[in-house]
Homo-oligomer: A and B are copies of this chain.
Amino acid sequence: MGLVVQKYGGSSVATAERIKRVAERIVATRKDGHDVVVVVSAMGDTTDELMDLAQQVAPVPPARELDMLLTSGERISNALVAMAIHSLGAQAQSFTGSQAGVITTSTHGKARIIDVTPGRIRAALDAGHIALVAGFQGVSQDTKDITTLGRGGSDTTAVALAAALDADVCEIYTDVDGVFTADPRIVPDAAKLDRITYEEMLEMAASGAKVLMLRCVEYARRYGVPVHVRSSYSDLEGTIVQGSMEDLPVEQALITGVAHERGEAKVTVVAVPDHPGVAARIFRTIADAEIDIDMVVQNVSRAAEGRTDITFTLPKSDGPRAVEALENRRGDIGFDQIVYNDHVGKVSLIGAGMRSHPGVTATFCEALAEAGVNIDIISTSEIRISVLVRDLELDRAVTALHAAFELGGGEEAVVYGGTGR
């Protein structure tokens, strides 16, 4: 048999009882004859509680110490899962990210994985043991300090280990049944996808789908690791993320799903001179403030004036800072005004088949028009159409698109709660 990597999130191991349930599933997988490596997040709200403790003793905790503190959470959960496995009669050993050979950059709080050298994991597997690896952490190549990987870190750890160990699959256990054609809390008849390509999943994640983080999907794509997103509450098959859209048969279903994002705001830099370098100055200003940008839209200039508007979206929480940064450079950039709008929502249609089927954009716009949703800005990629709409119209837009492209499964999707992260 082969090697399986499994990842369990915080809610899956929130209590002693849940830990024992997870241990049963792991042991069952081992009994099927597989080598098993398991990545476990910290129990429940542990990470938040530790962050809270940190802020009680220091308003601005130093990053190195924050990583030393937060990584305790995964250490605790992994040791407990190993113990539970042991009491079921199987052999297990827990390892920190450092012990597992997860080598990272030195940026505390959001380190990137440079390499994975899982020698001790391989040795444990060869000795017949189940290996538990603390997610969300590694060791810095330069300083030998413990680092944490930032959001989605545990999923990324799991995929990185799967790649390094040449696993057959990386199973991500979560509190939803898989990847859906839309958020079931908005569209009750959203269907669970059986399969989705890496590129489509990347677009879904980038467009607001919370079930897998972008970096984890990109890592999987780069190393060709099949990722199986499934529920930790049942034995149902979930969604397999695998394959490139280049390999899809021409007759492949047109559209995969609808994603939405509520957390963005829109900034329009009005009437900038239409010269080379102006856009660069705007985006360098934003980058220097360490703000990430999502959609960027610039239309043709109003020729008579030689000016144009540049619009971009960004996380709402960064909005005020971005506006302030731009206002401070008004002279350099030369705009008339900044328009800021945080009552927007983004909805995206994703599907590999979009490339070969004309008319998708037309159907898209007709569906929104029929639902009375006004399109603010449009931005597209080869397999995605995204629009910004009024936030109060977002749910209606999602529902309209889902119906227009006939994505519904016919049955109501079961929603357990959670964001599918």
Contact = CB atoms under 8 A, between A and B. Distances in A.
Interface in A140-194: none
A238 B69 CA distance: 32
Given A20-B57, A58-B84, A94 B68 contact: yes
A16 B54 CA distance: 8
Interface stretch (A70-78, A228-236, A258-266): A70-78
A94 B80 contact: no
Q: Is the interface of A mostly helix, strand, loop or mixed?
A: helix
A277 interface: no
Given A72-B72, A75-B68, A75-B75, A80 B59 contact: no
A60 B79 contact: no
Contact of A53 (B60, B69, B72, B80): B80
A78 B64 CA distance: 12
Contacts of A93: 64-65
A377 interface: no
B79 A16 contact: no
Interface residues of A, number: 36
Work out how many copies of this chain go into the complex: 2
B80 A75 contact: no
Given A62-B86, A83-B62, A94-B65, A16 B57 contact: yes
A53 B87 contact: no
Contacts of A50: 76
A66 B79 contact: yes
Nearest to A82: B65
B86 A23 contact: no
A418 interface: no
A43 to B, nearest CB: 9
A322 to B, nearest CB: 29
Contacts of A59: 87
B80 A69 contact: yes
Given A75-B72, A76-B72, A66 B53 contact: no
Contact of A87 (B23, B57, B71, B87): B57
Given A65-B79, A68-B78, A76-B50, A56 B87 contact: no
Contacts of A82: 62, 65, 68
A270 B354 CA distance: 93
B16 A56 contact: yes
A50 B66 CA distance: 21
A335 to B, nearest CB: 40
A61 interface: yes
A19 interface: yes
A121 to B, nearest CB: 14
Contacts of A72: 72-73, 75-76, 79
8 contacts: A57-B84, A58-B86, A60-B87, A65-B92, A65-B94, A68-B82, A72-B75, A72-B79
Interface of A: 16, 19-20, 23, 50, 53-54, 56-62, 64-66, 68-69, 71-73, 75-76, 78-84, 86-87, 92-94
